[in-house]
Amino acid sequence: MATTTPKTSPEVGGMGHSVKRKEDPRLIRGKGNYVDDVQLPGMLHMDIVRSPYAHAKIKKISTEKAMKVPGVLAVITGETLAQFKLHWMPTLMSDTQMVLPTDRVMYQAQEVAAVVATDRYAAADGVDAVEVEYEPLPVVVDPFKALEPGAPVLRTDKPGKTDNRIFHWEVGDRAGTDAALKASDVVVKEQIYIPRIHVASIETCGCVADFNKINGKLTVYMTTQAPHAIRTVFALVAGHVGLSEEKIRIISPDIGGGFGGKVPVYPGYVIAVAASVVIGKPVKWIEDRMENLQADSFARDYHISAELAAKKDGTITALKIKTVADHGYADAAANPSKFPAGLFSICTGSYDLKNAFAEVDGVYTNKPPGGIAYRCSFRVTEAVHAIERMVDVLAQELKMDPAQLRMKNFIPKDKFPYKSALGWEYDSGDYPAALKKAMDIVGYDALRKEQAEKRKKGELMGIGISSFTEIVGAGPSKHFDILGIKMFDSCELRVHPTGKATARFGTKSQGQGHETTYAQIIAEELGIPAAHVEVEEGDTDTAPYGLGTYASRSTPTAGAAGAIAARKVRDKAKKIAAYLLEVGEDDLVWEPGKFSVKGAPQKSKTIQDIAFAAYTNHPQGMEAGLEAVDYYDPPNLTFPFGSYICVVDIDRGTGEVKVRRFVAVDDCGNIINPMIVDGQIHGGLTMGLAPALYEEITYDEQGNVQGGSFIDYLVPTAMETPKWETDKTVTPSPHHPFGAKGVGESATVGAPPAIANAVVDALSHLGVRHIDIPITPEKVWNILKEKDAAL
């Protein structure tokens, strides 16, 4: 079933063709339409007063001076919103979060008040003129201290709350795993911290809220990855002030990067909506860079304690993981509600082990809400980092080659579908093939020889492997929901009389190229050239209901819906073709783009002929038109995988890590557009390099953010980015309509442990077993000095 040779011609551009991205002429010429491009008549501007303290009582907010600033029309505080019961809102994890505070702030950069003015500059001047009196309170930034008895209880707004634990979640067989650990020949244990990072999308968050007082309709142009879910949340939160779902329209225009950071509702959105409803004019709110880096879109922050057990021969027997998850002041992650720790239970990875147990404690601290699924399917990055680091730690302990150890423990190809010890059913995989291919490309054996030679000369070179398994494409709806809304996705397909089509989806691209790849899916199924299929997403007034784009779910869900909708259209087209050709349906054969009569191929009708007939000459008794809708609820997730090999050289004079080579072999099943998949991998690898070597957000004891600007928060540029070498294997998903798996996040997930493993490998002969990411030159330099290996 593996699709490597396209079935359609390049002119049709179905699956397997590297069709150039339809969206690029607009995006690369600066003609995109982003939310900040939206200009409406009479539009006002909003700016936000933010807290300098991580925890403080608000004693007084004085707005008089701000109201005197020319152009300032309103100052909105928590008290203003409290009159409408809008000062609190639910988070996507059914926790609660302040929109604006009435008495306390809980993290630095928290929204304290908002100023609405006739222009952006007046709004900023107004913000400067708002006077807030704070009384600092004890700050808790360390999640372990937050869990200690006697720690200040942060969420005093929750009646009866006596500690800072948000949830305790566990999965697997604790007793069985403990017994297996005891019975094993070798157990390695490691503390692994995966630091707080930020999605750092080029476009910050923002919206234009436009309430029309005459017809009561609210239109919100918003940088959201999930417009439909947001509309429902708005209706549920603000229904009591008259906002009704049919009167709310969310338009998600072009998005300059989402990466999970644009799934939640942030306070600024709600305040802008409230301001527009009260004032009756459009209100624009756009975060500046520092607000974005300091107040929202944070990910990771997982403190992991892992134990991995094996027999002497390297057979892995058990995995046990205990994690403290720092969520900041509110649990505002966008996880499916049954999964408070996301899909962390994929932590057994690509390995066939019988015993596993994982537990996670979510903790409140005085930091902004975290837990964003940053370019990963709800905590998969954390899980993959843990297992791929631990396998290397075990290899070091056993003095085994890490590639050999992986090969020995991979889930065998013939065991798929495979039921993991923590409950997932992996759909398909061929892990040895991917690793073997990566080893061949990189020249693994020769590199090991080179490393041995270099070590003799005192040079530091390392080779790191990561053989990851992802889990993407939520639903199925029986297990997955966001705030109770089931996770499926949708396509509405209309074929017009002249054989061109419009396809609308419940997802929303943020640069992934859906306008192109979705058109290719329709082209594959119907033979209508991709160039003639217009794809629309992101407008709740027109698109069918869907849960949005994140967690690499678009291809597994909405992409599948597109194929099924097209097949429904094809079924009807067949009836029309039979009528036009005066034969029975069973006498017809389909090839992309036309039905012809069996044994008489000259007697045929193209999809364009059929489309015209559907409106001009359809069989009497049949409904006119040629369209279909599909709401696709996947039977399972898809499990893309890959093997990455990274080669690093370390400068003993500075501690700098240089990635010399990076080979990425990915498998996302059947591929729609090889060029786009390659682009996804390239971008993802760079986003994986970032936390491995550069990015981290930290806080001092007072909860002051360190790294809240691009001066301190190091996003890799072209200068730091190595040449990526990509290749693939193709193992189709057996349950997906066209055998595809998601791919958008594989590289972000798989890359960090490959890089970390390479650095540790370079230093392993000095007795180094683990280094937490980001592996900065300073960290390496300190290790070199400690080991007497610095130049």
Active site residues: 225, 375-376, 745
Min dist CB 178 to ligand CDP, Å, is: 38
Residue 545 host element (H or E)? none
**Contact window for ligand CDP (CB under 6 A) among 161-169, 291-299, 667-675, 779-787:** 667-675
DSSP state of 557: I
Site for ligand CDP (CB under 6 A): which residue of 365, 466, 517, 748?
Answer: 517
Site for ligand CDP (CB under 6 A): which residue of 76, 672, 689, 756?
Answer: 672
Site for ligand CDP (CB under 6 A): which residue of 350, 420, 467, 555?
Answer: 555
Give, as ranges, the residues between 38 and 57 that touch ligand CDP (CB under 6 A). none
Sign of CA dihedral 669, 726, 749, 188: positive
**Contact window for ligand CDP (CB under 6 A) among 263-271, 406-414, 513-521, 769-777:** 513-521
Measure the N-to-C terminal CA separation of the chain; round to a whole number of Å. Answer: 55
**Contact window for ligand CDP (CB under 6 A) among 38-46, 189-197, 457-465, 739-747:** 739-747
Q: Which is nearer to ligand CDP, 657 or 672 (CB)?
A: 672
The tokens 């097209």 sit on which residue? 566
Closest by Cα among 327, 416, 346 to 171: 346
SS3 call for 681: helix
Min dist CB 603 to ligand CDP, Å, is: 35
Min dist CB 536 to ligand CDP, Å, is: 15
* Residue 19 contacts residue 530 (beta carbons within 8 Å): yes
**Contact window for ligand CDP (CB under 6 A) among 39-47, 80-88, 508-516, 766-774:** 508-516
> Per the omega criterion (within 30 degrees of 0), is the bond before 546 cis?
no
Q: Which two tokens stand for residue 114?
A: 């908002």
Min dist CB 299 to ligand CDP, Å, is: 15
Question: Does 252 help bind ligand CDP (rule: CB under 6 A)?
Answer: no
CA distance 552 to 564: 19
Question: Does 471 help bind ligand CDP (rule: CB under 6 A)?
Answer: no
CA distance 82 to 755: 49
Site for ligand CDP (CB under 6 A): which residue of 294, 673, 686, 731?
Answer: 673
Binding mask 409-428 for ligand CDP (x = CB under 6 A): --------------------
Q: Which is nearer to ligand CDP, 63 or 252 (CB)?
A: 252
Min dist CB 717 to ligand CDP, Å, is: 23
DSSP state of 345: G
* Residue 704 contacts residue 294 (beta carbons within 8 Å): no
Q: Which two tokens stand for residue 148?
A: 């200690």
Q: Which is nearer to ligand CDP, 330 or 743 (CB)?
A: 743
CA distance 737 to 561: 9
Q: Which two tokens stand for residue 46?
A: 């909003």
Residue 688 host element (H or E)? helix 674-693
| R_g over Cα of the chain | 27
- Would you list the DSSP string of 696-738? --EE-TT--EES-STTTS----TTT---EEEEE-----SSSTT
**Contact window for ligand CDP (CB under 6 A) among 185-193, 274-282, 674-682, 780-788:** 674-682
Question: Does 317 help bind ligand CDP (rule: CB under 6 A)?
Answer: no
Question: Does 513 help bind ligand CDP (rule: CB under 6 A)?
Answer: yes
Site for ligand CDP (CB under 6 A): which residue of 117, 743, 755, 760?
Answer: 743
**Contact window for ligand CDP (CB under 6 A) among 69-77, 151-159, 381-389, 548-556:** 548-556
Min dist CB 569 to ligand CDP, Å, is: 20
Site for ligand CDP (CB under 6 A): which residue of 554, 608, 636, 729?
Answer: 554
Classify residue 461 by burial, with Cβ atoms within 10 Å: 0-12, 13-18, 19+.
buried
Question: Does 552 help bind ligand CDP (rule: CB under 6 A)?
Answer: yes
**Contact window for ligand CDP (CB under 6 A) among 194-202, 249-257, 277-285, 553-561:** 553-561
Min dist CB 19 to ligand CDP, Å, is: 10
Min dist CB 511 to ligand CDP, Å, is: 9
Q: Which is nearer to ligand CDP, 509 or 604 (CB)?
A: 509
Question: Does 490 help bind ligand CDP (rule: CB under 6 A)?
Answer: no
Min dist CB 672 to ligand CDP, Å, is: 3
- Would you list the DSSP string of 145-183? HHHSTTPPPS-TTSTT--SSEEEEEEEE-HHHHHHHHHH
Give, as ranges, the residues between 621 and 650 that touch ligand CDP (CB under 6 A). none
**Contact window for ligand CDP (CB under 6 A) among 115-123, 230-238, 506-514, 707-715:** 506-514
Residue 662 host element (H or E)? strand 657-667
Judged by CB under 6 A, how many residues of this single chain contact ligand CDP? 24
DSSP state of 555: I
Count of Cβ atoms closer than 10 Å to residue 270 Cβ: 25
Q: Which is nearer to ligand CDP, 172 or 739 (CB)?
A: 739
Give, as ranges, the residues between 675 and 704 that touch ligand CDP (CB under 6 A). 676-677, 680
Instruction: Answer left, alpha or beta for residue 664, where phi above 0 means left and psi between -120 and 50 means alpha.
Output: beta
* Residue 303 contacts residue 169 (beta carbons within 8 Å): no
Q: Which is nearer to ligand CDP, 540 or 552 (CB)?
A: 552
* Residue 11 contacts residue 529 (beta carbons within 8 Å): yes
Q: Which is nearer to ligand CDP, 176 or 674 (CB)?
A: 674
CA distance 740 to 738: 6
**Contact window for ligand CDP (CB under 6 A) among 450-458, 608-616, 708-716, 735-743:** 735-743
Q: Which two tokens stand for residue 778?
A: 């300073």
Question: Does 512 help bind ligand CDP (rule: CB under 6 A)?
Answer: yes
Min dist CB 673 to ligand CDP, Å, is: 4
Question: Does 372 help bind ligand CDP (rule: CB under 6 A)?
Answer: no
Query: What backbone phi and psi angles, to 5 degrees, belong to 728?
Result: -150, 160
CA distance 17 to 506: 24
Min dist CB 546 to ligand CDP, Å, is: 11
Question: Does 742 help bind ligand CDP (rule: CB under 6 A)?
Answer: yes
Question: Does 671 help bind ligand CDP (rule: CB under 6 A)?
Answer: yes
CA distance 712 to 776: 13
Min dist CB 640 to ligand CDP, Å, is: 8
What residue ranges in 236-369 does DSSP mark as E strands? Answer: 248-251, 283-286, 298-310, 316-328, 355-364
Question: Does 371 help bind ligand CDP (rule: CB under 6 A)?
Answer: no
Min dist CB 225 to ligand CDP, Å, is: 9
Amino acid identity, position 452: A
Give, as ranges, the residues between 327 and 366 that touch ligand CDP (CB under 6 A). none
Count of Cβ atoms closer than 10 Å to residue 1 Cβ: 11
Question: Does 740 help bind ligand CDP (rule: CB under 6 A)?
Answer: yes
Question: Does 522 help bind ligand CDP (rule: CB under 6 A)?
Answer: no
Closest by Cα among 564, 490, 496 to 534: 496
> Per the omega criterion (within 30 degrees of 0), is the bond before 497 cis?
no
Contacts of 647 (CB under 8 A, 6+ apart): 442, 447, 461, 462, 463, 464, 659, 660, 661, 662, 758
Give Cα 116 to chain centroid, integer Å.
Answer: 32
Binding mask 556-595 for ligand CDP (x = CB under 6 A): ---x------------------------------------
Where do contacts with ligand CDP occur on this chain (CB under 6 A)? Answer: 512-514, 517, 549, 552-555, 559, 668-673, 676-677, 680, 740-744
